[in-house]
Amino acid sequence: MRGLSQQVPPPFQVLKDLMAKARGARDNAYAPYSGFPVGAAVLSGDGVVFRACNVENGSYGLSVCAERNAVSMLVVSGRVNPIAIAVAGPPGVPCTPCGACRQVLAEFNPSMSVVLEDGEGGLEVISLEDLFPRPFQLGESRG
């Protein structure tokens, strides 16, 4: 049986297009406090893309990252099947999801493909399971 860590990533061109959509979503970032705009695009298993940006707040701790906003949009659509996410921070620089976002992404697919800029003009594709092994799982933690 194929393990979750061995999920086959979508074709590279699909992931390139996903990154282009993440970059587009970054244009709408509301990041007046950090000055650090981020865009994310999540691909569902049925081929739909959900885009979002970070949304900051004057009460800083209420700020929400682009990745969590994007996966929330997928869930609001009635889906729970993300297979890939692209994250675009400052152009050309890798922007890996923060720990909170990794946990939220893992809720829906612990081995989804994560697409990042590689800092050399290309893309890096990494499994969420490699970025975030052993997420908290409530069902396994009740004892």
Catalytic (active-site) positions: 67
Measured from the CB of residue 2, what is the shortest distance to ligand THU in angstroms?
Answer: 28
| Tokens of residue 141, six digits | 């933690």
Q: Which residues lie near ligand THU (CB under 6 A)?
A: 31, 34, 36, 38, 54, 56, 63, 65-67, 87, 95, 97-98, 101
Antiparallel, parallel or unpaired: β 49-53 and 123-127: unpaired
Q: Do the beta carbons of residue 14 and residue 42 sit within 8 Å?
A: no
Contact in structure between 119 and 99 (CB atoms under 8 Å):
no
Q: Provide, rounded to whole angstroms, the least separation between the CB of residue 64 and ligand THU.
A: 8
By beta-carbon proximity to ligand THU, the closer residue of 20 and 98 is 98
> Where is 7: in which H helix or E strand?
none
CA dist 122 and 36 (Å) reads 21
Nearer to ligand THU, 33 or 142 (CB): 33
- Quick one: 15 or 25, whose CB is closer to ligand THU? 25
In whole angstroms, the minimum distance from the beta carbon of 132 to ligand THU comes to 12
